[in-house]
Amino acid sequence: MPDLLSDVVRATASAPDSTTILDRSARVLLAVADWVIADRLEDPDLVVRVAAYDAAGALRLPPAMGSRSPRRSSARSQGLLPTLLRSPEATMHLRAPELAAVAASGDPHRAAQAAMALSYGANEVLLIRLAARDAVVGVLTLGTRTTFHPDDVTALGDVAAHLGVALEAARLLEVQRAVATALQTSLLPPLPAVPGLHLAARYSPATKGLDVGGDWYDAFGVEGDLVVVIGDVSGHDVSAAARMAALRHTVRAHAVDRTEPPSGVVTRVERTSATLALDATGTCVVARLHPHGDGTWRLTWTNAGHLPPLLVREGRAWFLETDVDLMLGVDPASDRHDHEHRLVPGDVLVLYTDGLVEVRGASLDERLEQLRQVAAGNAVEHPDELADVLLSRLDAGAADDDVALLIVGVDQP
C-alpha cells in the first residue's frame, strides 16, 4: 500500500507555487484512484481548475466540467463542489447509487459531474476539502471503478491537511512575490532616447524565493553623453531592493553633478555610502559613452567587482576584460580605474548581472562562453531582439537569481 502522505510531500517539496503543488499531488494520488481532479479556490466563489488526470494522462472532461488547463469559473457552476463547501464535513463520499440519483436530479451542474463520473465507470467518488486557518483553499475530486480502501480514505485526509497548509503558504509567498516584484520593477527606470544609439533593457525575477533582489540597470544622458550602469546589491529580499534603490540614486546623483570619468563617480559613491551607512555591498559597472560626431563613440568604464561587459561586432563577440577593482561596500578608499574602447557603427554592448550566466551545477566559464557564442551568432537589427534571444537561450526564466540586462547598440549610418 502506498504511503500517500510521504509521496505527496516528496513530490511537492520543491514546487514553486500552488498550481505546481496541486498538479504534482494529483499525479501522485492516481496511486489510489482511477482519476483525479484538483481545483484551487481563489475566493469563496472563484475556482481554478488546475489538474485533471487519469492513468492515461490528461483526463478528458465534458464542457460542463471545464478544461484540464488552469481555468477560472464560479464555484456555483462546479457540480458537487458547492455542496461540499456548505457541508460541515471535510469529505463527501458518493457511491454509485448516490451518483445515479444526482445525475437524474434537476441541477444541471451537479448532474453533469455525477454523469461524468458514471461515464468513466466510477463506482465511488471522493470530494475532499483542502483547508487552512478555517478557509477552504482547494478541493480534490477522486474517482475509482472499484472501492476506496478505508486506509486510503484516512491517508487522503492526512494528505488534505498537509496540502491545505502547503497551499496557504504558497499563496502567501505568491502575494509577497507580487509585491516584491512590483517594488523591484517600479525602481527600474525608463530608457532615454539617444540619437545614434538604440537601447534595450530587461529585468527577469528569480523563479524561487521572493523573486526580488538587488539587480538594477540605469541609463541617462549627461551633457550629450550617455551614462549606463549595471549592478547587483547583495541580498534577495525587499531590503536588498531598498538598498539597491538608494545606491542607484546615489550613482545617478554623482554622475550628473560634475564632469568626471566613471572611476571618479564610483569613488564618490563609495564615500557617500560609507558616510550615510547605506550598507550596500555589491558589484557594478559604470560606463560613459561620448559621441565623436562621425558615428563612433568613446566608451569609458570602471568595473567594481562585476562580470565583464560583452562587445558584439560583425558576428564576433568578446568580453572587455580588464583588471577588476574591488566590489562596492568593502573599502571606500580603494583605488578605482577607468578603461576605454572605441565603439563603431553596428557595435552592440551587453551589460548583464550574474543571474544570466550563473546556474547551480554549471561552470561559470562555460556559461560565459555560451553567452558569448549566443550573442555572436545572432545578428539582430535591434537590441530588443538580442535581449529576448539571450534570456531565452540562456534559460534566464528558470534562474535561481534575478537577472538585469542592458544592451546598447550603435546605429549604422
Q: Could you tell me the residue ranges of all domains in the chain?
A: 4-179, 189-410
Instruction: Of 97-101, 160-164, 335-339, give the lowest mean pLDDT range.
Output: 97-101
Q: In the structure grid, which three cell numbers stand for residue 243, read together?
A: 538598498
| Amino acid 189: pLDDT | 85
| Amino acid 82: pLDDT | 66
> Which residues lie across from 288 on neighbouring strands?
227, 300
Kindly tell me if the per-residue pLDDT of 16 is higher than 60.
yes
> Which residues lie across from 54 on neighbouring strands?
35, 57
Give which of 43, 9, 301, 266 is closest to 155, Cα–Cα.
9
Dist. CA 375–CA 316, nearest whole Å: 8
- Reply yes or no on domain 189-410 having CATH 3.60.40.10: yes
Q: pTM of the entire structure?
A: 0.65
For 114, phi and psi rounded to 5 degrees? -65, -40
Most confident stretch, 119-133, 301-315, 379-393: 301-315
Residue 209 backbone zone (phi > 0: left; psi -120 to 50: alpha; other: beta): left
Instruction: Of 57-66, 103-112, 274-283, 328-337, give the lowest mean pLDDT range.
Output: 57-66
Question: Which CATH code fits 4-179?
Answer: 3.30.450.40
For 41, the 3-state DSSP assignment is: strand
Instruction: Of 37-51, 160-174, 239-253, 330-344, give the lowest mean pLDDT range.
Output: 37-51
Residue pLDDT, tens place only, 19-41 = 999 999 999 999 999 999 998 98
Q: In the structure grid, which three cell numbers stand for residue 155, read together?
A: 491517508
The larger pLDDT score, comparing residue 87 to residue 219, is at: 219
Confidence of residue 65 (pLDDT cuts 50, 70, 90): very low
If you search the block for the grid coordinates 551614462, which residue do you land on? 227
Q: Which residues contact residue 363 at a Cβ distance below 8 angstroms, ignoring those fewer than 6 apart?
A: none
Q: What is the mean pLDDT of residues 110-128?
A: 80
Q: What is the mean pLDDT of residues 325-345?
A: 96
Dist. CA 136–CA 42, nearest whole Å: 9
Dist. CA 55–CA 35, nearest whole Å: 7
Q: What is the mean pLDDT of residues 137-148?
A: 92
| Amino acid 289: pLDDT | 98
Percent of the chain with pLDDT strictly greater than 70: 85
Confidence of residue 66 (pLDDT cuts 50, 70, 90): very low
| The domains spanning 4-179 and 189-410 adopt the same CATH topology | no
